[in-house]
């Protein structure tokens, strides 16, 4: 099983020592993960939150690329409707060049109405803007000759996007999806899949199954390693730490739902400690308990987990890398039966 990191930490207004200190801490944290053999670090894009979520993800990743050697650097996600697709394509190919081909492009259409409102964009246009932006970006990545584009929202004449990406035909594209039809679309379209940290183990295993079935139906190799499963990580050792972890998880889920609420009204789901303890989505527990939960995912076919550590420190990474990671075993993949063998 591969392990990467997901999220951006709190690097802004909540840091009492100032924004710049928060960024230095986060950059060092990714550097530590690079040294310890973590596969990747995916960062978010959000705006106007007031709680220090990352806003300029590509800028940050460009700097981190110069401070790391092997770890892959990704977005989860760039919200395409907010961006000029050609300017965005130029920034992405530049980052791919600077990182020497270590960039993973996670894209999405956005879900927080407040962000669309502040960018003066109707949220009803999100899907159409997302689709046109992605199509134009992919064309920009792969077209070495000048071209023109005249769509619903964007018009360009006789342009060429430079530089060319290191990864050909373009950096790997990752898309978030949760419903079966969306997951199947990502799989059959030969994109990589990002799965949220809210679905429990059974739901997550089913999502991976739907993805690999869609790959096979499209004539593609089944490859569960192309599904990044986000999981919140909180290593605890005492009852007090466990209660605090449950409270933090509960508050986090309520906050996510509040940020995504619709203008017609919203009533957040009430959860108690028993609900959180029974939920198998988060990795809350001792190292042994976390190993068991990860092994359940591995046994169900999950091959790639993206961790969101509550305590994003070198100590947490070290504990996971040395006390948890080596003990999760990926079952051997079933080999196809020889032609003519009994079913």
Given a contact cutoff of 8 angstroms between Cβ atoms, the answer to whether 57 and 43 are in contact is yes
The mean predicted confidence, pLDDT, of the chain is 90
* Residue 211: Cβ within 10 Å count: 27
Please compute the mean of the pLDDT values over residues 250-269 and round it to a whole number. Answer: 63
Greater confidence, 327 or 334?
327
**What CA–CA distance (Å, rounded) separates 303 from 204?**
12
- 161-205 pLDDT, tens digit per residue, is 999 999 999 999 999 999 999 999 999 999 999 999 999 999 999
- Residue 308 pairs in a beta bridge with 232
- 192-203 pLDDT, tens digit per residue, is 999 999 999 999
Please compute the mean of the pLDDT values over residues 9-14 and round it to a whole number. Answer: 57
| pTM of the shown model | 0.90
Q: Which domains does the chain have, with CATH numbers?
A: 2-241+281-327 (3.20.20.30)
Pairing of strands 72-75, 103-108: parallel
Please compute the mean of the pLDDT values over residues 256-269 and round it to a whole number. Answer: 55
Given a contact cutoff of 8 angstroms between Cβ atoms, the answer to whether 308 and 231 are in contact is yes
Given a contact cutoff of 8 angstroms between Cβ atoms, the answer to whether 161 and 44 are in contact is no
- Residue 193 pairs in a beta bridge with 175, 227
**What CA–CA distance (Å, rounded) separates 321 from 3?**
9
- 49-85 pLDDT, tens digit per residue, is 877 788 899 999 999 999 999 999 999 999 999 999 9
pLDDT band per the 50, 70, 90 thresholds, residue 330: confident
- The token duo for 177 is 């999806």
Q: Name which of 172, 162, 31, 4 is nearest 101 in CA terms.
A: 172
- Residue 175 pairs in a beta bridge with 107, 193
């Amino acid at each position: 099983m591969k392990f990467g990191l997901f999220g951006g930490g709190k690097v802004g207004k909540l840091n009492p020592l100032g924004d710049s200190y928060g960024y230095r801490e986060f950059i060092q944290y990714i550097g530590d993960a690079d040294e310890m053999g973590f596969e990747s670090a995916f960062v978010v894009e959000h705006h106007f939150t007031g709680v220090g979520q990352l806003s300029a993800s590509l800028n940050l990743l460009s700097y981190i690329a110069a401070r790391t050697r092997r770890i892959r650097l990704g977005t989860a996600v760039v919200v395409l409707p907010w961006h000029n697709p050609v300017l965005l394509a130029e920034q992405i190919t530049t980052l791919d060049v600077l990182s020497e081909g270590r960039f993973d492009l996670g894209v999405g259409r956005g879900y927080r109405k407040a962000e669309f409102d502040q960018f003066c964009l109707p949220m009803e246009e999100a899907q159409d803007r997302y689709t046109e932006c992605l199509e134009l970006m992919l064309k920009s990545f792969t077209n070495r000759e000048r071209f023109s584009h005249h769509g619903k929202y964007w018009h360009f004449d006789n342009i060429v996007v430079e530089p060319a990406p290191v990864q050909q035909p373009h950096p790997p594209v990752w898309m978030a999806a949760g419903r079966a039809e969306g997951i199947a679309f990502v799989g059959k379209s030969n994109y990589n899949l990002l799965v949220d940290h809210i679905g429990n183990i059974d739901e997550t295993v089913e999502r991976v199954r739907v993805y690999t079935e869609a790959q096979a139906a499209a004539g593609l190799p089944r490859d569960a390693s192309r599904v990044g499963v986000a999981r919140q990580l909180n290593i605890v050792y005492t009852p007090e730490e466990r209660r605090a972890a449950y409270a933090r998880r509960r508050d986090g889920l309520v906050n996510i739902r509040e940020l995504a609420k619709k203008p017609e009204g919203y009533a957040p789901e009430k959860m108690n400690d028993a609900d959180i303890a029974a939920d198998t989505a988060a990795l809350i527990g001792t190292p042994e308990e976390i190993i068991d939960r990860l092994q359940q995912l591995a046994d169900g076919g999950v091959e790639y987990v993206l961790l969101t550590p509550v305590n994003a420190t070198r100590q947490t990474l070290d504990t996971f890398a040395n006390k948890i990671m080596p003990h999760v075993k990926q079952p051997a993949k079933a080999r196809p039966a020889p032609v003519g063998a009994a079913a």
